[in-house]
Structure 1
């Protein structure tokens, strides 16, 4: 996603130690039983529910499982994943799909050769899947591994010297991202669904490029997973507000204090993800367990496993 943020100082073994990296990132497995969560559970319980799911996957696996977690922008995926670092018994290597965006220079080349919207990081086709595959291979080998980092404020990959290291021999590898497990369109989708598509991609070239990526490299990535967990927003309608709140947090302010120009930028930005977010919420994705959230990110009774 090319978020052009203003520059600012930003921020199988036994007896596993408490040593987990918060570094944010499958072949689809069998459908899982729905997770049971009481209604009206406070949002703070999401990390606990995620941890319980990871624990169950580790207990059922013969080797460290590769687990993929999806959820719309601003839902709180990264925060919940980071909480796994406090797990008292498991070494969990965590990554974010956000951290393997193509460099700014690489996306500018795509923008020049394919479509101007390719400069915006986030949609399919804007991730360095080869870098991610190498990282996952290194983690699966049991070696201590450097995890890529992306600086969203600079809209570019962080220097390797700043990459954190995941622990050796993790009990699980968890990767989160807004589109984890999404499937290509089941049929042609020629009609634009928002102003961004209608005004900047009227002939569908950019959308077609994304679908081609989903049919190739992303499908191969999903095939690696042992299980999926889908964190479902109540609908795309809440995503602009959630993303606005996320933007305010990133810039160290409140949504009400964001200037009109920045609010307009967020409104346009989320349109890059609307089509596939709606597709995910409609269930056109790899099978997995489902946790449903309400409009204020509160946990609701979990939905049935979907695929």
Structure 2
């Protein structure tokens, strides 16, 4: 998925100095951002108060939207470097096309994982014949320096490991949770899990104390570490937790995101994750001149043009403001 802001700001993220070693409770609200022709997303990361959670550096939550008489998601071809994209659905279908020739339709609770590496382009759209609802999340994972120039790839995992307890069901998207490990390719210690809580459920989820965590509520309403979190909001939890108390009075859907604090400093702008302003500028030029990223075939429409780079010199600002 693309960042379709017409004037995206460059951000310097990463580093451990601003990561709390103690548990915290920081409630983040999403910024409304138009996406394509008929979709509006709530952008939780990067946020005014928080830029990363482990290697997770971008979180968009969208829907549930009524698209019965609408085209649904229509994101034209656009480029990426230095990251992985994670497509995750609760309702609807999204067709993925990329410059490697990959073609896949991702359905609810299936993992669409694209590793951009040195360069890739892709497009995402709802199929012409689609269901009445679209609801999901799009997430990015920053690649460490050792893997950010790797060859691009796309992986589709229709079946993922699950963990169950009374009133709670977890699907492990990436990494490992309670002994269940996702087949998705990762390059830093992290976890992503989809949690379903039945009405009246109460549970304590095992965590890694060296990880920092956040929980996004996608539907229903849940009490996370004693804090009520409503749909479209995310609670940042910091580090130092061995378990996470959860409670729901109604059927609820959550995303758990976590990982070791990302040690490297990185620069994010538009759809690029790099290490310097020069690298970002070169990626933009390569996209605009039609080199390096390849072509996405099968999408009926023009590709996205890159916005203008912001004036001035990038200034490191760390993980939080």
Q: Which has the higher contact order (CA 8 A, sep 6+)?
A: 1
The structure with the largest helix share of the pair is: 1
TM score, norm. by length of structure 1: 0.28
TM score, norm. by length of structure 2: 0.27
